[in-house]
């Protein structure tokens, strides 16, 4: 599989390509299916989740599928209820409550494993399947706030008010995410990605003291290659290798070559086309893709991706132009 070859830093004639949120709202077939199912219904139905996972693979010449789910899904296996309206909503918790959550129960999210099993049956040869989870510090941010926030002051305050208790809570969540990732691997995922969506709001010291060891704990015992992605934090890049992942995703804020140098050129790197480029037209998309490829310079270990999830308003023909520029061919 081309993605796994890149994760081993093997020389390739072109980098593998997949992109974040590739199974989702920019596809008309996804929207048609969602007219029949709520988001939670789709996630909890293995057949529907598998179908959504496969939709972009049928359209584009991609090298990986990522299972359709959400980073909040494994919290159900810790006894928590999450709603989407449209973003995640849950009852705000204290740091003490989080530290004392029940242990992860894999039986409560067995629908994710079933979806992976169904995808594996239909996935073309050579296309990898990616499992994923939210990183502990990102999930802690949501648990303390009860949803999204611009500043996540509850998280940042908790880290400073009682560092020992915050570490205990992160250990609880990190252990759960490790088990959840392994559940996906056991079901057939070829690699897993840890999304640390809100690590970038932290100072470097708080990242190193809290987010980094928690992410490392979630990844260190995985039996497949791992990818760590923390956007919005170029100040954190020199510290990424402490996470211990196989590869690191980067957003568009720095040129790929510069970001790669900060992380360490011995690591595979994933990225980093600005998703806004896909809102333009193929004439602008092709040179922008070529610029990212030029930054990679043909070095082994590059995985082409967006610098964040695809915007739902991206025209399908623009996505096709991006994929064709990387692969040299259409589906």
Which residues does the annotation mark as catalytic?
21, 25, 34, 70, 142
**Could you give the CA distance from residue 180 to residue 319 in angstroms, rounded to a whole number?**
31
User: What separation in angstroms does the CA of 185 have from each of 17, 113, 192?
Assistant: 21, 9, 8
Three-class DSSP category at 243: helix
Overall size of the chain counted in residues: 331
**Could you give the CA distance from residue 73 to residue 233 in angstroms, rounded to a whole number?**
25
**Could you give the CA distance from residue 307 to residue 107 in angstroms, rounded to a whole number?**
34
User: What separation in angstroms does the CA of 229 have from each of 17, 157, 250?
Assistant: 16, 24, 7
Q: Which residues contact 194 (CB under 8 A, 6 or more apart)?
A: 132, 133, 134, 135, 177, 181, 215, 218, 219, 226, 227, 228, 229, 245
* Burial tier of 71 (Cβ tally within 10 Å: 0-12, 13-18, 19+): buried
Query: Could you tell me the two tokens for 54?
Result: 């496969």
Neighbours of 103 (CB within 10 A): 11
Query: Angle at which helices 46-59 and 110-122 pack, to 10 degrees?
Result: 40
Between strands 88-89 and 83-84, the pairing is antiparallel
């Amino acid at each position: 599989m081309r993605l796994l070859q890149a994760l081993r830093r093997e020389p390739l004639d072109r980098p593998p390509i997949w992109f974040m949120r590739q199974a989702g709202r920019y596809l008309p077939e996804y929207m048609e299916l969602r007219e029949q199912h709520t988001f939670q219904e789709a996630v909890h139905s293995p057949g529907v989740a598998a179908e959504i996972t496969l939709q972009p693979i049928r359209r584009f010449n991609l090298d990986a599928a990522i299972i359709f789910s959400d980073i909040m899904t494994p919290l159900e296996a810790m006894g928590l209820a999450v709603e989407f309206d449209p973003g995640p909503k849950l009852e705000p918790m204290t740091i003490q409550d989080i530290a004392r959550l029940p242990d992860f129960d894999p039986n409560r999210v067995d629908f994710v494993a079933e979806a992976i099993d169904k995808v594996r049956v239909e996935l073309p040869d050579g296309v990898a399947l990616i499992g994923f989870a939210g990183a502990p510090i990102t999930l802690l941010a949501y648990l303390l706030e009860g949803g999204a926030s611009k500043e996540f002051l509850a998280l940042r305050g908790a880290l400073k008010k009682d560092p020992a208790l915050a570490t205990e809570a992160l250990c609880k969540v990190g252990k759960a995410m490790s088990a959840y990732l392994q559940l996906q691997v056991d079901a057939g995922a070829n690699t897993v990605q840890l999304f640390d969506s809100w690590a970038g709001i932290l100072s470097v010291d708080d990242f190193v003291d809290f987010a980094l060891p928690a992410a490392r704990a979630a990844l260190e015992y995985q039996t497949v290659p791992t990818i760590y992605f923390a956007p919005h934090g170029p100040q954190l890049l020199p510290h990424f290798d402490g996470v211990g992942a196989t590869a690191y995703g980067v957003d568009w804020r720095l040129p790929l070559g510069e970001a790669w140098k900060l992380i360490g050129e011995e690591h595979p790197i994933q990225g980093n086309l600005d998703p806004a480029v896909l809102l333009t037209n193929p004439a602008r998309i092709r040179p922008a893709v070529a610029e990212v490829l030029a930054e990679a310079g043909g070095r082994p270990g590059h995985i082409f991706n967006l610098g964040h999830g695809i915007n739902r308003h991206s025209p399908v023909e623009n996505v096709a132009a991006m994929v064709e520029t990387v692969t040299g061919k259409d589906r």
